[in-house]
Amino acid sequence: MASPVRTSEDLLKVFAEMIWAPPTQGTELLVRHLKCKESVELAKILVDAIPQYAERGGQRLQPPSELLVPLA
């Protein structure tokens, strides 16, 4: 089903309504995380760490030995 064609005036009305609408619970949670210094630092650490593992050509990392169950 095709979506209705909207004019620029229609879109401006929709955006204006969105601006003044109360924030959703998800939006409030996201804003709280983005304002949290620890969350931002953790995100930076993850972004910096991902390339070293993603560039391995699909090779999976081995789990640490302390997570493996000893063989009987």
pLDDT tens by residue, 41-63:
999 998 998 887 776 666 677 77
The gap from C-alpha 13 to its chain's centroid, in whole angstroms, comes to: 28
Q: What percentage of the chain has pLDDT greater than the value 90?
A: 19
Share in percent of the chain as helix, strand, coil (round to 5): 60, 0, 40
- Mean pLDDT, range 4-30, rounded to an integer: 88
By the 8 A CB rule, do 41 and 33 touch? no
Domain locations along the chain = 24-55
Distance CA 47, CA 54 (A): 11
